Amino acid sequence: MSSFVWPVLTSYPQDQLACIAMPLGGIGTGSVSLGGRGDLRDWEIVNRPAKGFVPQHTFFAIYAKSADGPSVTRALEGQIGPPYDGAAGCRIPDAGLPRFHDCAFLAAYPFGQVLLSDNAMPVDVTLQAFNPLIPADAERSGIPVAILRFAVTNKTGEYVTASLCGNIQNFIGTDGTEGTPKGNRNTFKLENSSTPVQGVFMTSNGVERGSEQWGTMALATTATSGISYRTAWAPLSWGDSLLDFWDDFASNGLLEKRTTVNTDSPMASLAVSLELPPGDTQTVTFLLTWHFPNRQTWTPVAVPVTRLRTGELSNAAGGHAENPNRVGNYYATRYADAWDVAVKTAATLPELEATTLAFVRNFCESDLPGAVKEAALYNLSTLRTQTCFRTEDGNFYGWEGCNDRAGWCHGSCTHVWNYEQATAFLFGELACSMREIEFLHATNDDGMMSFRVNLPLERANAWGYAAADGQMGCIMKLYRDWQLSGNTALLQKLWPRVRRSLSFCWLPGSWDADQDGVMEGCQHNTMDVEYYGPNPQMGLWYLGALHA
C-alpha cells in the first residue's frame, strides 16, 4: 500500500459500482475516468468529451501463483453487472475475460480505491488511483496524468509469484468521435534518472501534426525490476490477438515480444513481476500520461483542409494566421511530450501525493455534515473534465457543461459561471484570468460585456449580447477575487473597464436608464429569456454590483 493512509469519505458496495466514474487528470488536460469496478472508461484526453469511449483491449490484468497451487489470471476489475444484452452481445469491452468476484469502491476525491478479492486468487488487490489536487497551485494540479497504484497482498501461507500488466491501444488520431489512427508506433523507453521510469511511449507518424487528434501517450512504471513488455500484439483475426496475449501472460506472468506489423493502432503492454512472502504486501505504480497540444477554438471559422496539413500549424498559437482555430493547451507548453510528463511526474510523485493528501484529509476531518463534504469535494472533479480548459497562453475557460461528445454552450458564459465558487477559492489565479478576459477582451468601449467569449481573443466580443445578471456578477466576482487574493494590481488594471461596464446600465435604453437603482429595461438573463420591468432576481445582482 501507499506509505500514506488515504481518507475515505464514501464507501460504495458492489451493487452501486456501475454508476461511478471518477475523472483522473489535471485541470485543463482532459481526463480518463476510473469506473467503480476498476475499469478505465470515458477516455476524454483528446480535446473533447468522449463519454463511452474505451480504446480496444484497454485493461489491467494480474497473474498469481502460490508455491504449491495453480496459476490464476484475472482482469483487475470487478464483475460486470446487467444489462448483458446488446446488438453484438454484452456492451462492456472484453466482457469474456475472468474478473474478480468481489469488489468495492472507496472515495475521497481525488483519491479512489477499488478493493478486489476472489476466493480463487492467492492475493487480494487494492487499486489506488488519484491525480494531484493542490489548492493555490494550478501548475501541479494541471498535470496530464492518471496515477494508478496496485497494492498486492499475499493472503496465503506460501510464497506467491505475481505479475501486473497494463494494456492500452495506441489510438492517436481519434478522439472517440472523429479521426482515424494512422501510422502509429510504440517504443519501449527506459529513463535512468533519479527516479527511474520505464514504459511504452506511443506516437504517430501518420496523423497530421496540425490535427486536434495528434499527440503522444505513455504507459510507464516506476518499478525497477521484473519488467516485460510488448510494443504490439500478434496480428491475428477474430479476437485471437487478445487470446494470444492472454495465453502468453497467463502462462507465467511474463510477456513475450511480438513482431510489430503494419497496423495503425498497435497495442502497448507493460508487465511488472513480484515475489511475495506469506502475508506480504507490495505495490506497483503505473502512470498513464498524454500530450495533445492542438486544441481548437469553440467558435471555429472555415479553414481549407490543405492549410491544416502543413507541419508548422502545430506551432500556431492562440489563433495563428495560418490556423485561426487553434488555441492550444497550456499543459502542452510545460512538457515536450507524454514521456516528459511521466518522467517529471515520477520525480515528484511522493510530494504530489503528500500535498494533495494534506488538503483532502483536513477537509474530510472538518465538522461539516457528511453530505456537504461529499457534494463540495466530489464536484471539484468538474475542473478536470472537458468542461474546463486552459489555452496555450494560460487563460482559463469553461463551457456551460458537456454533452457526451461535445461541449455545451461556449464562452465561459458570465451568468452560468456566476453559480460557481470553487475556482476562486481554490485556484485564484484561474479565476483572475477569467476576470481579465471578461473586462479586457469581452467588454467593448461603451461598457457592454459579451456574455459569451469567442476564441481566439481577437474575436472575444463577437457574440455581441449582454446579460444583466452575468455582467453585474462579473463585477461582484472581481470584488470577491480581490478580497481572496489581495491582488490590488489586478483591480487597478481592470478598474476603468469595471466602471465602464457598470455605467453601461445607465445608457439610454439600457437596464437602468433613469439611474434610480432599479433595473427596468430589457434584461437578458440566465433563464434564457428577457425580463422587462423591476424584478428581484436582476435587482439583487445590480445592487450587489453597485455595492461592490
Best CA proximity match to 165, nearest among 73, 92, 84: 73
Peptide bond into 496 cis (omega under 30): no
Pairing of the two strands 123-130 and 31-35 = unpaired
Distances (CA, A) of 388 to 29, 83, 380, 385, 468: 9, 32, 11, 6, 24
| Burial of residue 202 (number of CB atoms within 10 Å: 0-12, 13-18, 19+) | buried
Q: Give the span between the Cα atoms of 139 and 44, in whole angstroms.
A: 20
Q: What is the pLDDT along the chain (548 residues), one digit of tens a residue?
A: 455 689 999 999 988 999 999 999 999 999 999 999 999 999 999 999 999 999 999 999 999 999 989 999 999 999 998 888 888 788 888 889 999 999 999 999 999 999 999 999 999 999 999 999 999 999 999 999 999 999 999 999 999 999 999 999 999 999 999 999 999 999 999 988 778 899 999 999 999 999 999 999 999 999 999 999 999 999 988 889 999 999 999 999 999 988 777 789 999 999 999 999 999 999 999 999 999 999 999 988 876 655 444 444 444 334 444 688 999 999 999 999 999 999 999 999 999 999 999 999 999 999 999 999 999 999 999 999 999 999 999 999 999 999 999 999 999 999 999 999 999 999 999 999 999 999 999 999 999 999 999 999 999 999 999 999 999 999 999 999 999 999 999 999 999 999 999 999 999 999 999 999 999 999 999 999 999 999 999 999 999 999 99
Q: Give the span between the Cα atoms of 119 and 102, in whole angstroms.
A: 9
Fold type of domain 395-547: Glycosyltransferase (1.50.10)
The x, y and z cell numbers of residue 112, run together, are 479512489
Q: Which H or E element spans position 154? A: strand 145-154
The CATH 2.70.98.40 domain(s) of the chain lie at 10-294+329-347
Q: CA torsion, points 32, 14, 249, 144, in degrees to nearest 10? A: 10
The x, y and z cell numbers of residue 298, run together, are 469553440
Evaluate whether 294 touches 328 at the Cβ level (below 8 Å): yes
Residue 458 φ/ψ, nearest 5 degrees = -60, -20
What pLDDT, on the 0 to 100 scale, is given for residue 305?
Answer: 53
Other residues' Cβ atoms within 10 Å of the Cβ of residue 95: 12
The CATH 1.50.10.10 domain(s) of the chain lie at 395-547
Q: Give the span between the Cα atoms of 409 and 402, in whole angstroms.
A: 8
Q: Give the number of C-alpha atoms closer than 13 A to the C-alpha of residue 121, restricted to the C-beta side.
A: 24
Evaluate whether 439 touches 474 at the Cβ level (below 8 Å): yes
Quote the distance between the C-alpha of residue 22 and its chain's center. 9
Evaluate whether 546 touches 517 at the Cβ level (below 8 Å): yes
Cβ-Cβ contacts under 8 Å for 160 (sequence gap 6 or more): 64, 65, 66, 67, 122, 123, 154, 275, 276
Quote the distance between the C-alpha of residue 133 and its chain's center. 12
Q: Give the span between the Cα atoms of 131 and 141, in whole angstroms.
A: 8
The x, y and z cell numbers of residue 269, run together, are 503492454
What pLDDT, on the 0 to 100 scale, is given for residue 322?
Answer: 67
Best CA proximity match to 127, nearest among 17, 268, 242, 53: 17
Best CA proximity match to 394, nearest among 457, 336, 451, 470: 457
- What 3-state class would DSSP assign to 405? coil
The x, y and z cell numbers of residue 290, run together, are 498524454
Four-residue CA torsion sign, 100, 130, 400, 537: positive
Q: Give the span between the Cα atoms of 198 and 91, in whole angstroms.
A: 33
Question: Domain spanning 10-294+329-347: which CATH class is it, in words?
Answer: mainly beta
Full-model pTM: 0.94
Distances (CA, A) of 83 to 75, 97, 194: 20, 17, 48
Evaluate whether 461 touches 412 at the Cβ level (below 8 Å): no
Q: Which H or E element spans position 199? A: strand 197-204
Other residues' Cβ atoms within 10 Å of the Cβ of residue 24: 22
Residue 184 φ/ψ, nearest 5 degrees = -75, 150
